[in-house]
């Protein structure tokens, strides 16, 4: 990315939402030396693996969340099956207004 042509810098910023801070917190906690489940290099590798189309369609912390999830699946910390069930459960709770 460095050195490539690009447009003007949009000087945008926003106050981070709680979910964004939590994604950040997850990465910090998962990459701590005393309980290491992944590294920052793996975070970046799995972000780069998203490919340009997906990369640009996601927000910063959405990319992080995709990458963290992919890395935890690769390491077997989570399985596709339990993640699928949990996501369905979360969707139900959202639909019922519990989240």
Chain residues binding another protein by CB under 8 A are 1-14, 16, 18-19, 21-26, 28-30, 35, 37, 40-41, 44, 47, 60, 65-66, 68-69, 72, 77-78, 82-83, 86-87, 89-90, 99
Q: How many helices (H) and strands (E) does the chain have?
A: 5, 0
Nearest distance from C-beta of residue 47 to another protein, angstroms:
8
Separation between Cα atoms, residue 39 and residue 43, nearest integer Å: 6
Nearest distance from C-beta of residue 96 to another protein, angstroms:
14
Separation between Cα atoms, residue 2 and residue 16, nearest integer Å: 25
Separation between Cα atoms, residue 26 and residue 43, nearest integer Å: 12
Nearest distance from C-beta of residue 80 to another protein, angstroms:
12
| Dihedral sign, Cα of residue 43, residue 46, residue 51, residue 53 | negative
Nearest distance from C-beta of residue 16 to another protein, angstroms:
6
Report residue 80 as tokens: 């596709």
């Amino acid at each position: 990315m460095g050195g490539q042509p690009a447009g003007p810098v949009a000087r945008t910023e926003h106050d981070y939402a709680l979910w964004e801070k939590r994604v950040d917190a997850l990465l910090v906690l998962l990459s701590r030396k005393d309980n290491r489940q992944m590294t920052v290099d793996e975070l970046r590798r799995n972000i780069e693996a998203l490919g340009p189309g997906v990369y640009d369609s996601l927000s910063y912390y959405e990319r992080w969340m995709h990458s963290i999830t992919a890395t935890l699946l690769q390491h077997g910390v989570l399985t596709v099956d339990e993640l699928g069930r949990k996501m369905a459960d979360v969707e139900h709770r959202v639909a019922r207004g519990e989240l």
